[in-house]
Structure 1
Amino acid sequence: MTATHLIIHGKVQGVFYRDWTVATARCLGLAGWVRNLADGTVEAHLEGERHAIERMIAAMRDGPPRAAPTLIEPREVAEQGLAEFNRR
Protein backbone atom coordinates (compact mmCIF):
# COMPACT_ATOMS: atom_id res chain seq x y z
CA MET A 1 0.00 0.00 0.00
CA THR A 2 1.11 3.51 -0.81
CA ALA A 3 -0.30 7.03 -0.92
CA THR A 4 0.01 9.86 -3.44
CA HIS A 5 -1.03 13.50 -3.22
CA LEU A 6 -1.99 15.23 -6.49
CA ILE A 7 -2.63 18.73 -7.74
CA ILE A 8 -4.44 18.73 -11.09
CA HIS A 9 -4.30 21.85 -13.30
CA GLY A 10 -6.35 22.83 -16.34
CA LYS A 11 -10.09 22.83 -16.95
CA VAL A 12 -10.99 20.65 -13.98
CA GLN A 13 -13.63 22.65 -12.10
CA GLY A 14 -17.25 22.87 -13.21
CA VAL A 15 -16.89 19.80 -15.46
CA PHE A 16 -17.78 16.99 -12.98
CA TYR A 17 -14.10 16.15 -12.47
CA ARG A 18 -14.55 15.46 -8.74
CA ASP A 19 -17.57 13.19 -9.18
CA TRP A 20 -15.79 11.34 -11.98
CA THR A 21 -12.71 10.99 -9.76
CA VAL A 22 -14.76 9.50 -6.92
CA ALA A 23 -16.43 6.94 -9.20
CA THR A 24 -13.19 5.97 -10.96
CA ALA A 25 -11.20 5.68 -7.73
CA ARG A 26 -13.85 3.48 -6.16
CA CYS A 27 -13.86 1.21 -9.23
CA LEU A 28 -10.08 0.82 -8.85
CA GLY A 29 -10.40 -0.01 -5.14
CA LEU A 30 -8.69 3.18 -3.96
CA ALA A 31 -9.33 5.14 -0.78
CA GLY A 32 -8.82 8.87 -0.39
CA TRP A 33 -10.47 12.15 -1.25
CA VAL A 34 -10.74 14.89 -3.87
CA ARG A 35 -11.58 18.59 -3.56
CA ASN A 36 -11.56 21.87 -5.47
CA LEU A 37 -9.04 24.53 -4.50
CA ALA A 38 -9.64 28.28 -4.67
CA ASP A 39 -7.01 28.74 -7.41
CA GLY A 40 -9.01 26.61 -9.89
CA THR A 41 -7.01 23.40 -9.42
CA VAL A 42 -8.20 20.11 -7.97
CA GLU A 43 -6.42 18.38 -5.08
CA ALA A 44 -6.60 14.63 -4.50
CA HIS A 45 -5.20 12.08 -2.08
CA LEU A 46 -5.05 8.46 -3.30
CA GLU A 47 -4.32 5.40 -1.15
CA GLY A 48 -4.02 1.83 -2.36
CA GLU A 49 -1.93 -0.54 -4.42
CA ARG A 50 0.74 1.20 -6.51
CA HIS A 51 -0.58 -0.24 -9.81
CA ALA A 52 -4.10 1.04 -9.04
CA ILE A 53 -2.76 4.51 -8.24
CA GLU A 54 -0.78 4.51 -11.49
CA ARG A 55 -3.91 3.52 -13.43
CA MET A 56 -5.88 6.27 -11.68
CA ILE A 57 -3.31 8.94 -12.50
CA ALA A 58 -3.27 7.80 -16.14
CA ALA A 59 -7.08 8.07 -16.27
CA MET A 60 -6.98 11.48 -14.58
CA ARG A 61 -4.87 12.84 -17.45
CA ASP A 62 -8.08 12.66 -19.56
CA GLY A 63 -10.83 12.89 -16.94
CA PRO A 64 -14.50 13.15 -17.85
CA PRO A 65 -15.57 14.34 -21.34
CA ARG A 66 -15.77 18.10 -20.58
CA ALA A 67 -12.50 18.25 -18.61
CA ALA A 68 -9.14 19.29 -20.02
CA PRO A 69 -6.40 18.59 -17.47
CA THR A 70 -3.06 20.11 -18.48
CA LEU A 71 -0.74 19.08 -15.64
CA ILE A 72 -0.82 16.61 -12.77
CA GLU A 73 1.69 17.13 -9.96
CA PRO A 74 2.05 13.91 -7.93
CA ARG A 75 4.10 13.33 -4.79
CA GLU A 76 4.28 10.35 -2.49
CA VAL A 77 2.96 11.01 1.02
CA ALA A 78 2.17 9.08 4.18
CA GLU A 79 -1.00 7.01 4.22
CA GLN A 80 -3.92 8.41 6.24
CA GLY A 81 -5.50 4.99 6.78
CA LEU A 82 -8.69 5.88 4.91
CA ALA A 83 -11.30 3.21 4.16
CA GLU A 84 -13.16 4.77 1.21
CA PHE A 85 -12.94 7.49 -1.43
CA ASN A 86 -14.96 10.69 -0.95
CA ARG A 87 -15.45 14.17 -2.33
CA ARG A 88 -14.63 17.00 0.05
Structure 2
Amino acid sequence: MVRRRVVVHGRVQGVFFRARCAEQAAAAGVTGWVANQPDGTVEAVFEGEEAAVSQMLTWCHEGSERAQVSSVDVLEEQPEGLTGFDHR
Protein backbone atom coordinates (compact mmCIF):
# COMPACT_ATOMS: atom_id res chain seq x y z
CA MET A 1 0.00 0.00 0.00
CA VAL A 2 1.34 3.43 -0.99
CA ARG A 3 0.04 6.99 -0.73
CA ARG A 4 0.80 9.91 -3.02
CA ARG A 5 -0.39 13.52 -2.77
CA VAL A 6 -0.42 15.39 -6.07
CA VAL A 7 -0.92 19.00 -7.05
CA VAL A 8 -1.87 19.40 -10.70
CA HIS A 9 -1.12 22.73 -12.41
CA GLY A 10 -2.54 24.16 -15.63
CA ARG A 11 -6.09 24.56 -16.87
CA VAL A 12 -7.55 21.93 -14.56
CA GLN A 13 -10.60 23.61 -13.00
CA GLY A 14 -13.92 23.81 -14.81
CA VAL A 15 -12.91 21.04 -17.23
CA PHE A 16 -14.34 17.97 -15.39
CA PHE A 17 -10.89 17.06 -14.02
CA ARG A 18 -12.21 16.09 -10.57
CA ALA A 19 -15.11 14.04 -11.91
CA ARG A 20 -12.93 12.11 -14.35
CA CYS A 21 -10.26 11.65 -11.68
CA ALA A 22 -12.83 10.08 -9.34
CA GLU A 23 -14.01 7.77 -12.14
CA GLN A 24 -10.45 6.71 -12.96
CA ALA A 25 -9.62 6.12 -9.28
CA ALA A 26 -12.72 3.95 -8.80
CA ALA A 27 -11.84 1.92 -11.90
CA ALA A 28 -8.26 1.46 -10.64
CA GLY A 29 -9.36 0.51 -7.11
CA VAL A 30 -7.63 3.53 -5.59
CA THR A 31 -8.95 5.34 -2.51
CA GLY A 32 -8.48 9.01 -1.56
CA TRP A 33 -9.88 12.35 -2.64
CA VAL A 34 -9.62 15.15 -5.19
CA ALA A 35 -10.37 18.86 -4.67
CA ASN A 36 -10.05 22.23 -6.39
CA GLN A 37 -7.71 24.67 -4.65
CA PRO A 38 -8.11 28.48 -4.46
CA ASP A 39 -4.94 29.03 -6.53
CA GLY A 40 -6.44 27.23 -9.56
CA THR A 41 -4.69 23.91 -9.02
CA VAL A 42 -6.27 20.55 -8.26
CA GLU A 43 -4.98 18.56 -5.29
CA ALA A 44 -5.52 14.83 -4.89
CA VAL A 45 -4.51 12.00 -2.60
CA PHE A 46 -4.28 8.44 -3.89
CA GLU A 47 -3.88 5.31 -1.75
CA GLY A 48 -3.65 1.75 -2.97
CA GLU A 49 -1.43 -0.80 -4.59
CA GLU A 50 1.68 0.76 -6.12
CA ALA A 51 0.72 -0.13 -9.71
CA ALA A 52 -2.77 1.35 -9.33
CA VAL A 53 -1.46 4.57 -7.77
CA SER A 54 1.15 4.80 -10.54
CA GLN A 55 -1.68 4.51 -13.06
CA MET A 56 -3.41 7.49 -11.40
CA LEU A 57 -0.20 9.54 -11.46
CA THR A 58 0.14 8.86 -15.18
CA TRP A 59 -3.49 9.87 -15.70
CA CYS A 60 -2.92 13.15 -13.82
CA HIS A 61 -0.31 14.20 -16.37
CA GLU A 62 -3.01 14.01 -19.08
CA GLY A 63 -6.18 14.79 -17.12
CA SER A 64 -9.67 15.08 -18.53
CA GLU A 65 -10.39 15.67 -22.21
CA ARG A 66 -10.52 19.49 -21.85
CA ALA A 67 -7.73 19.85 -19.28
CA GLN A 68 -4.34 21.33 -20.14
CA VAL A 69 -1.91 20.01 -17.55
CA SER A 70 1.34 21.98 -17.33
CA SER A 71 2.94 20.12 -14.39
CA VAL A 72 2.25 17.68 -11.58
CA ASP A 73 3.92 17.81 -8.17
CA VAL A 74 4.05 14.43 -6.39
CA LEU A 75 4.73 13.88 -2.69
CA GLU A 76 5.14 10.50 -1.00
CA GLU A 77 3.18 10.16 2.25
CA GLN A 78 2.37 7.43 4.74
CA PRO A 79 -0.90 5.59 3.94
CA GLU A 80 -3.77 6.32 6.30
CA GLY A 81 -6.06 3.47 5.26
CA LEU A 82 -8.62 5.66 3.47
CA THR A 83 -11.82 4.08 2.19
CA GLY A 84 -13.68 5.19 -0.92
CA PHE A 85 -12.81 8.13 -3.11
CA ASP A 86 -14.19 11.60 -2.38
CA HIS A 87 -14.79 14.24 -5.03
CA ARG A 88 -14.64 17.45 -2.98
TM-score of the aligned structures, taking structure 1 as reference length: 0.96
User: Which residue of 2 is the match for residue 84 of structure 1?
Assistant: 84
* Total equivalences in the alignment: 88
Runs of 4+ in structure 1 over 6 Å off: none
**Alignment map for 1:5-44 (pairs within 5 Å):** 5-44=5-44
Q: Give ranges in structure 2 of 5+ residues lacking alignment.
A: none
Task: Give 1:36 deviation, angstroms.
Answer: 0.4
Deviations 1:42-78 (A, max 9, x none): 0000000111111111111111110011100001111
Percent sequence identity is: 39
**Aligned equivalents of 1:86, 1:24: Cα separation in 2:** 12
User: Which residue of 2 is the match for residue 55 of structure 1?
Assistant: 55
SS of 2:63's equivalent in the other structure is: coil
TM-score of the aligned structures, taking structure 2 as reference length: 0.96
